[in-house]
Amino acid sequence: MTTQNRIKLENILKDRFKNDKHTTISSLPQPDSFKDMNKATKRVIEAINKDETITIVGDYDVDGVVSTTIMVEFFNKIGKRVKWIVPNRFKHGYGLSQKIAQKIDDGLVITVDNGITAYETALILKKKNIDLIITEGFCS
């Protein structure tokens, strides 16, 4: 690689987060600043205390798989076994689809990296008396 190309590449890498408002850990928003965080926290605690089934529904992209893994690992570390689903986009479609909802019978569903467009599926879960917590990075 020539010096000129290396300098161009360094500048591109340096500038890629120029407009990102969260470039340090201390600049990240406080968790309780997210909409309904206290409500969601109480519901998760209730599900744990009542030994309800918790199902994590992720996404098939990198951040969806990583988010699913983090959630499952968290619950495992506190001694709570959870179910998890990462949809096959060819069989189930994107995120929390109606096909995924048909596989869930009870408890609490937590989406990671999806769910904000799943209005019809949310209604299906509601009819089955299954609570839904949606976490999605694009909501911020």
Name the phi and psi angles at 77, rounded to 5: -65, -25
Residue 133, phi-psi category: left (phi > 0), alpha (psi -120 to 50), beta (remainder):
beta
pTM of the model: 0.81
The domains located in the chain, with CATH, are: 28-139 (3.90.1640.30)
Decide: helix, strand or coil at residue 123. helix
Predicted confidence at residue 138, as pLDDT, reads: 61
User: What distances in angstroms separate CA 11 from CA 2, 20, 27, one per listed residue?
Assistant: 14, 16, 23
Q: Which of 128, 120, 119 is nearest to 55 (CA)?
A: 128
CB atoms inside a 10 Å sphere around CB 56: 24
Decide: helix, strand or coil at residue 20. coil
For every one of its 140 residues, what pLDDT tens digit does the chain have, with 9 covering 90 and above? 889 888 889 888 888 777 777 777 887 888 888 889 999 999 999 999 999 999 999 998 998 999 999 999 999 999 999 999 999 888 888 889 999 999 999 999 999 988 888 999 999 999 999 999 999 766 55
| AA letter at 116 | I
Q: Which of 90, 138, 91 is nearest to 111 (CA)?
A: 138
Torsion of Cα atoms, 71 then 76 then 82 then 87, to 10°: 40
Predicted confidence at residue 73, as pLDDT, reads: 97
Cβ-contact 107, 125 below 8 angstroms: no
